Chain A
Amino acid sequence: QVQLQQWGAGLLKPSETLSLTCAVYGGSFSGYYWSWIRQPPGKGLEWIGEINHSGSTNYNPSLKSRVTISVDTSKNQFSLKLSSVTAADTAVYYCARGHVVVVPAAHGFYYYYYYMDVWGKGTTVTVSS
């Protein structure tokens, strides 16, 4: 059974860089999209970005200028860096495994589905001076 174990600093000062790592245990690293998601206190889920095993990334446009996601396939790990943090970045940060499935439909069209089936337990990150 695949498990994600995540870790990183939980208390940061404004302008510092948030750094988290997520390790994948019990499964393949290839063929999936590995995401970071965050949840500010009392609010909903916000996708931060993702990476695949070859290092191809997609980032949330609202965070793109501050986000870097990298992968270390030799260790089955992927990491998040978020620079110049402020209090607005205070949140629980999750890592998750994502699947994209393409389903052929009639007349040459396609349907898709995307889902995240395995999640880390979350890391609480607080930004405070």
Chain B
Amino acid sequence: SSELTQDPAVSVALGQTVRITCQGDSLRSYYASWYQQKPGQAPVLVIYGKNNRPSGIPDRFSGSSSGNTASLTITGAQAEDEADYYCNSRDSSGNHRDVVFGGGTKLTVL
């Protein structure tokens, strides 16, 4: 099955821009979705599709994709953005049966 690879940890200074990446073969066919998870809480969808934000997600969150790499960009990171971020897609091999998650990136806002 396909895998999605994320950097385990990333840090950003308050108010600066940070990019979190996700690599995998399935991303040549699928746009990644991105989830934010804070301690003790369920994941929250922040980006899906080409670059869509669910209602209530600040516009400082954006998504992009190139080849086998998807990126989540936070422009002007805030203290409340400190969290774990996961990418997600389906495995494009076979019959698109399996759902896959990246290993997660812990974002620290300094």
Partner of B97, one of A45, A58, A112, A120: A58
- Size class of the contact patch on chain B: 20 to 34
**Cβ–Cβ contact B90 & A115, under 8 A:** no
Majority secondary structure, B binding face: strand
- With both chains docked as a complex, state the minimum distance between the C-beta of B87 and any C-beta of chain A, in angstroms: 10
Which residues of chain B in 52-100 are interfacial with respect to chain A, using CB atoms and an 8 Å cutoff?
Answer: 54, 84, 86, 88-90, 92, 96-100
**Cβ–Cβ contact A120 & B42, under 8 A:** yes
Size of interface on A: residues with Cβ below 8 Å to B: 27
Could you mark each residue 17-54 of chain B with 1 if its beta carbon is under 8 Å from any beta carbon of chain A, else 0?
A: 00000000000011101010100001111001110001
Tell which of A9-17, A22-30, A82-90, A93-101 binds the partner.
Answer: A93-101
Give A residues with C-beta under 8 Å from B.
Answer: 35, 37, 44-47, 50, 58, 60-61, 94, 98-101, 110-117, 119-122
Give B residues with C-beta under 8 Å from A.
Answer: 1, 29-31, 33, 35, 37, 42-45, 48-50, 54, 84, 86, 88-90, 92, 96-104
